Structure 1
Amino acid sequence: MKLLTRQPTLKLPETMFTGDAWADVIYRGEEPSRARANAVRFAPGARTAWHSHGLGQTLYIVEGIALIQSRGGEVLEAHPGDVVWTPPGEEHWHGAAPDRFMVHLALWETDEVDWLAHVTDAEYAGPRRSTRTA
């Protein structure tokens, strides 16, 4: 067993994020492990750019309301306790609702991430479907 040294919180770059977002690295596996885990905190309205992961990505919503969209799909409004998986190579974005902070755990393998264009305000404000039932 090994107690891992906690790394400083990272302010995430404007080239990949709109608005303010920060990450705490929870785990970054060393070969042969490919596991990655970050706690990511988004200010209201903050979001990633469009991107895809070579081996997919899983998000676990911890706090707030997350907005998540796959290219060509509707915006999913996810809530604490929801788990969302994006398959390998699927272009998507995720971020906070306009009026709430949001925290999610991001789980993925390898650093194979293809970063694309920023999400437009029109894409961000698109029709939503909530994970909560009425």
Structure 2
Amino acid sequence: MKKTRNKMRTKLILTLAAALIFTIQGFSQSNADAKQAIFPKGEQGPASNFTGKAFNYGLVANDSTYHTVVGNVYFEPGARSNWHRHPAGQILVITAGEGYHQIKGRPIEKMRKGDVVKCPPNVEHWHGASPNSALHQMYIIPNTEKGIVEWLQPVTDKEYNALNKQ
């Protein structure tokens, strides 16, 4: 009986230690992603367009010469954009962290540092951080004379969590 209790106690201690190490590694990874950021955090995006906290830092303002907007968005873990579309499309370059992207009617795709994602013109989509990692993405919106963005409805928790059910 005493041996069984000692084994159970040892197993419990090992399980708790493993959980603590996993939590610390996840926290360290999130902090490492923040420290690896190329651009400043920027201004927090409006709650009407994002679930959770997302911060925008503009790099290239719209003008009549280049007709292009470039910036960086930092998503805290679990944060995401609403569904939206761009009249001329959008290109995302993932510079740190891990996140998700979905085009309406298609499965959610994972995004990681180094990935490049093309969002087609006038197609509804959303993007944001995974639940346990921050995400830094540079966005490029070309041909802004056609318009920049049309914000739509929030991404539901069910839609956001659908990746885990695939």
TM-score interval, smaller chain = 0.7 to 0.9
Q: Which has the higher helix share?
A: 2
Q: Deviations over 1:10-59 (max 9, x none)?
A: 11000000000101101113113211111110000000000000000000
Measured at CA, do residues 8 and 22 of structure 1 come closer, stay the same or move farther in structure 2, by a change above 3 Å?
closer
Equivalents in 2 of 1:25, 1:114: separation in Å? 18
- Sequence identity (%): 35
Amino acid paired to 1:20? K
> RMSD value over aligned CA atoms?
1.6
Deviation of 1:114 (Å): 1.2
Q: Paired residue for 1:125?
A: 161
Shifted more, 62-71 versus 106-115: the winner is 106-115
Give the alignment's TM-score, normalised by structure 1. 0.86
Measured at CA, do residues 30 and 8 of structure 1 come closer, stay the same or move farther in structure 2, by a change above 3 Å?
farther
Alignment of 1:23-38 (within 5 A): 23-38=56-71
Amino acid paired to 2:157? D
Paired residues of 2:141 and 2:148 also in contact (CA < 8 A): no
Q: Paired residue for 1:72?
A: 105
Equivalents in 1 of 2:160, 2:87: separation in Å? 24
Amino acid paired to 1:113? V
Deviation of 1:113 (Å): 1.1
Amino acid paired to 1:124? Y
1:82 equivalent in alignment to 2:115: yes
Deviation of 1:8 (Å): 8.9
| 5+ long unaligned stretches in structure 1 | 1-6, 129-134
Q: Paired residue for 1:113?
A: 149
Shifted more, 23-32 versus 92-101: the winner is 23-32
Paired residues of 2:41 and 2:74 also in contact (CA < 8 A): no
Equivalents in 2 of 1:96, 1:43: separation in Å? 7
Q: Deviations over 1:75-94 (max 9, x none)?
A: 10011100000110010000
| 5+ long unaligned stretches in structure 2 | 1-39
Q: Paired residue for 1:3?
A: none
User: How many aligned residue pairs are there?
Assistant: 122
Q: Paired residue for 1:42?
A: 75
Q: Which has the higher strand share?
A: 1
Q: Paired residue for 1:102?
A: 135
Give the alignment's TM-score, normalised by structure 2. 0.70
Q: Paired residue for 2:52?
A: 19
Equivalents in 1 of 2:115, 2:42: separation in Å? 24
